[in-house]
A = this chain, B = another copy of it.
Amino acid sequence: MSMNSYGHLFRVTTWGESHGPALGATVDGCPPGVPIDEAMIQHWLDRRKPGQSKFTTQRREPDAVKILSGVFEGQTTGTPVQLMIENTDQRSKDYGDIVDKFRPGHADITYWQKYGIRDYRGGGRSSARETAARVAAGGLAREAIKALAPDVEITGYMVQMGPHRIDRNRFDRAQIEQNPFWVPDAQAAGDWAAYLDDLRKSGNSVGAVVEVVARGVPAGLGAPVYAKLDTDLAAAMMSINAVKGVEIGEGMAAAELTGEANADEIFMGPDGPRYSSNHAGGILGGISTGQDIVVRFAVKPTSSILTPRRTITKSGQETEIVTKGRHDPCVGIRAVPVGEAMMACVILDHLLLHRGQIGENRGRIG
């Protein structure tokens, strides 16, 4: 059992903190023979990298990944893959004035209460920089999935920023890569830019909802009762910094439906079952149906804002704080590639787990 690991067979352990020499992911259980090199992983890290638009933190990290083990002559060997990212732009002095103050909404106070150690430099282990390691691991997972389930396609995007939601009627997958918000709605992209720019200038921040969809996932993945596919996805997404809610398919809105309205009726298609709808988000009883796996998660607004907030110090003195560092006005944006990475890791893990217990899919229909 490790508190910094996830996955059953494809097992990722992340390590490192915001302002240490490096951070990374120790990845165990990857199948051998997966073609991989640093550039293939770097591709995904670059999507998450800060400082790419005015809407993300101006911290400038190259986030260059190094593969230290587990790869030989361009292929995974089946032994642990160590993915390391060195920290370079660590302006620890930016944090000098918060050495003794707890930033509200951050983990400063709880890490102190738990460990009695205060690594004030950028949040230490609780920093969202940790998610770079997940994205690196996710890049490897994507390549490994190709050999096992070549039709799998994983796409994340924003569907809500503050009070503004996308219009599902304007949903256009091609838009996702065309704007700094990975939003599949061109009009929303424009509206949100203006909205967020105002917030950013006023030193405020806002929350968001990210949706991640996996297409082409074979039916039969997921291991009830406590390694359900949705259970593992919920844990994977909830473990991302600042996430406060996770939904599968209808999610919280399922509460409002009747059984009649919620039923995904089943028909027979040319190569297997087809469904009238996907309220279930591609998962029944914790096992994939073959439909799109649909997950959403809510990211709270960045807690570092310029408005002074009341807080206390380690010695219990009441005081005020203004967090001046370089921060994201909507940290949800950069959570998109992280959510994709977690989806990739969970799906690969369950492909392996299913193959381990069962071999190939067993139950044929028709």
Contacts and interface: CB of A to CB of B under 8 A. Distances in A.
A26 B225 CA distance: 14
A24 interface: yes
A258 B205 contact: yes
B3 A227 contact: yes
A264 B80 CA distance: 29
Interface in A4-48: 4-6, 8-9, 11, 13-17, 20-24, 26, 28-33
Contacts of A79: 4, 15, 17, 124-125, 224
Copies of chain A in the complex: 4
A244 B250 contact: yes
A276 B318 CA distance: 13
Interface string A244-268: 1111111111111111111111111
Interface stretch (A54-62, A106-114, A176-184, A186-194): A106-114
A316 B284 contact: no
Interface range, A side: 35 or more
A278 B263 CA distance: 36
A307 to B, nearest CB: 5
A21 B68 contact: yes
A2 B14 contact: no
Given A13-B28, A104-B266, A225-B130, A358 B298 contact: no
Interface in A345-366: 352-359, 361-366
B207 A104 contact: no
A208 B302 contact: no
A267 to B, nearest CB: 6
5 contacts: A16-B69, A102-B266, A241-B285, A265-B311, A356-B357
Q: Which 7 A-B pairs have the closest CB atoms?
A: A107-B285, A316-B366, A356-B356, A116-B362, A110-B287, A205-B259, A3-B223
Given A239-B286, A276-B310, 16 more contacts: A3-B225, A5-B28, A15-B80, A21-B66, A33-B116, A69-B125, A70-B125, A78-B115, A105-B263, A110-B288, A114-B222, A123-B285, A162-B258, A231-B235, A244-B250, A315-B366
